Structure 1
Amino acid sequence: MRQDDLWDSEAAQSYDTPGTGMFADAVLKPTVARLTELAAGGRALEFAIGTGRVAVPLAEAGVPVTGIELSRPMLEQLRTKVDEQTIPVVVGDMATARAPGTFTLVYLVFNTISNLLTQAEQVACFRNAASHLDAGGRFVIELWVPELRALPPGRAATVGTVEPGYLLIDTYDVLHQRVVSHHVTYSPADGDGRDARLFRSPHRYIWPAELDLMAQLAGFELESRHADWTGAPFTAESPSHVSVYRLPADR
């Protein structure tokens, strides 16, 4: 399943959920505030900018933002919000594409590094981030912690979310460190489920320790790790993390 096939026009048109879910103010405001702080007055580059969920409010907060995006339909949705002069975007793979200039911050949010399905591609993503950064620059990754402890013995799936109108089931291939997320959306009022829709996305999951090693291979050091964008402590029970990696100031 290719990522540019996965994020097609249908996915792009249904991606935004203004005011709810990952588009809720409670999610976006601390994200934008933390990224503004980490940009430290410089330019920011978003890998996999998508429809601009984070980039648009970050630019509105005064941070100059550039993007890299593989999916042209997702980019078309972004262009309904801002033009190329406001947020320039390079079409390409975040592991290899090059944006002009250098930046104080590169960021990759909402588990998107796991869309790269091999370890080699994920390492290349770190190296690509490093190549875009000024000395002392930061690479920020938001990523979930694999839920293998919740995987019953002999079973290949976990139920991630159950709420009215939405069901998430993850199926694991622990041999190849892969997971496929099955997103089922439906109308709670539909008793027979005829309107249910399925969207599947493949991922290569990454443990925090492996992520840190990828960072070291690209010349980064771990500066901080928190459970979320508000700075909550990261613990063994945290379902996700926001990790900040930094290049040496004298590289």
Structure 2
Amino acid sequence: MIDQQQIWDDDAAQSYDTPGEGMFSDGVLGPAVDALNELAAGGPAVEFAIGTGRVAIPLSETGIAVSGIELSHAMLARLREKVDEDRIPVVQGDMATAFAGTDFALAYLVFNTISNLLTQDEQVECFANAARHLRPGGCFVIELWVPQLRSLPPGHGGTVEVSEPGYVLVDAVDPLEQRLTSHHFRFAPDIEGGREARVFRSPHRYIWPSELDLMARLAGFRLESRWADWKRNAFTAESTSHVSVYRLEEG
């Protein structure tokens, strides 16, 4: 059994934040916060796998009362270096089962995090847990990548997803189990003869959009909208990610 505490440890927590760059850049974070603020419509929100507060902190700054659930001790400790419990209360536990309260207007899971649940049963349970937190008519929002199995050559067990100076991402894929392990290689600044790199591995269970929709229906949600990104560009057959908005049925 994989120990998520060992994956999301102190090293991961301390290197997670990249202020102003990557997923912390204004161009990425701004549209996400704007969309979530609109969907919350002034009501309280709960973030599953809140992490170090990348989204929760700026969302709370818009006036939305934000709570969270987080499994990792290290990620939660990093969050607490930024904001205290009074501002953003967090329940420590598994996002598929931990309970942070009821009557939320919005629950959300960003940056592929539902894939950290490594079985279909756990992912189904996560939808049920979201429904348990929401008021009737509330929204559950998931940001997730689209599996790129078309890029996997026959007979090959992995793909290079990113290759740029100082960083390479290689995904090893098991199509039978819908498992994917990301290998993040980060290299020190180029020095003649240097060979050292740091590797961070994270396991995932990838989910097709149609499978995600069925999980939602089992928990009493209906798909309200699906975008290719937080800027609400149209989702197409060529999209590599999606933001899916599910509405909890009333009654």
Q: Calculate the TM-score normalised by the size of structure 2.
A: 0.98
Deviation of residue 190 (structure 1)? 3.1
Matched, 1:78 2:79: yes
Alpha-carbon distance between aligned partners in 2 of 1:193 and 1:152, rounded to the nearest angstrom: 31
Alpha-carbon distance between aligned partners in 1 of 2:171 and 2:147, rounded to the nearest angstrom: 10
Deviation of residue 212 (structure 1)? 0.2
Deviation of residue 4 (structure 1)? 1.7
Is the CA contact (8 Å cut-off) linking 2:147 and 2:208 kept in structure 1? yes
Deviation of residue 191 (structure 1)? 4.0
CA RMSD of aligned residues (A): 0.9
Is the CA contact (8 Å cut-off) linking 1:145 and 1:238 kept in structure 2? yes
Amino acid at match of 2:101: P
The 5 A counterparts of 1:76-225 are: 76-225=77-226
Amino acid at match of 1:39: A
Q: Secondary structure at the match of 2:16?
A: coil
Amino acid at match of 1:26: G
Deviation of residue 188 (structure 1)? 4.1
Corresponding position of 2:50? 49
Deviation of residue 224 (structure 1)? 0.2
Q: Secondary structure at the match of 2:12?
A: helix
Gaps of 5+ in 2: none
Gaps of 5+ in 1: none
Corresponding position of 1:67? 68
Is the CA contact (8 Å cut-off) linking 2:40 and 2:105 kept in structure 1? yes
Is the CA contact (8 Å cut-off) linking 2:179 and 2:206 kept in structure 1? yes
Q: Hey, which bits of structure 1, 4+ residues long, moved more than 6 A?
A: none
Alpha-carbon distance between aligned partners in 2 of 1:44 and 1:63, rounded to the nearest angstrom: 7
Deviation of residue 101 (structure 1)? 3.3
Q: Calculate the TM-score normalised by the size of structure 1.
A: 0.98
Is the CA contact (8 Å cut-off) linking 2:102 and 2:135 kept in structure 1? no
Deviation of residue 127 (structure 1)? 0.2
Q: Residues 193 and 130 from structure 1, CA distance in 2 versus in 1: closer, same or farther, beyond 3 angstroms? A: farther
